[in-house]
A = this chain, B = another copy of it.
């Protein structure tokens, strides 16, 4: 029991350190990209020294890989939650909502991911061609079913998914530009409410089957 407690306690401490490192790393990587990030900056953000960082993660790339892996999981969740048994338009509406929520609440993850893809996805190409593609293919099949049953207008599901990804993530990844264009007046809540409204009124309307 003492042993178990000890082990648990040590693990706890380790986990807490690692998570502090990953949080700091996410912040810095998202802002400066992989190349623009220094170990010292991550270390400072995590409140420890550079060698101590390396004690927990073997290299800068390993830290990056860990942050990215975590992000990828989070990133897939909203699409996973798309329910084949649900009502098509309501499901897509809910998906838009979840994605916008994610852009609003976790913009760093979105930007980290965007940076990795922009750079040609050197570290997650396999995941994209494997897990991601498999997931998308599966959901594309669901959407095709919806179309076949006449509950959704017939459009290419791949491009539908791309359009939803692009538009929702735009508000996180291009936040700087969105704010510049809207001017100082518009606050975050208004921005996201406007985005959601637009997507519901235009894209969802475009997806409604003729009747």
Interface residues on A, range: 35 or more
Whether B119 lies near A31 (C-beta < 8 A) is: yes
Chain B residues with CB under 8 Å of A136's CB are: 181
Complex-state Cα separation, A120 to B173, whole angstroms? 9
Partner of A183 from the list B121, B133, B165 (CB cut-off 8 Å) is B133
Contact partners of A207 in chain B: CB under 8 A: 202
Pair B194/A156 contact, Cβ less than 8 Å: yes
Complex Cα–Cα for A100 and B177 (A) = 19
Q: Is the CB of B34 within 8 A of A156?
A: no
Within 8 A of B (CB), among A183-200: 183, 194-195, 197-199
Q: Which of A43-51, A110-118, A142-150 contacts B (4 or more CB under 8 A)?
A: A110-118
User: Does residue A54 face the partner (Cβ distance < 8 Å to B)?
Assistant: no
A interface majority secondary structure: helix
Task: Encode A78-121 as 1/0 by CB contact (under 8 A) with B.
Answer: 00000000000000000000000000000000010011011111
A199 touches B166 (CB 8 A): no
Chain A interfacial positions (CB closer than 8 Å to B): 31-36, 111, 114-115, 117-121, 125, 128-129, 132-133, 136, 153, 155-156, 158-163, 165-167, 169-171, 173-174, 176-178, 180-183, 194-195, 197-199, 201-207
In addition to A33-B119, A203-B206, 4 A-B residue pairs with Cβ atoms within 8 Å of each other are A36-B36, A125-B176, A125-B180, A205-B205
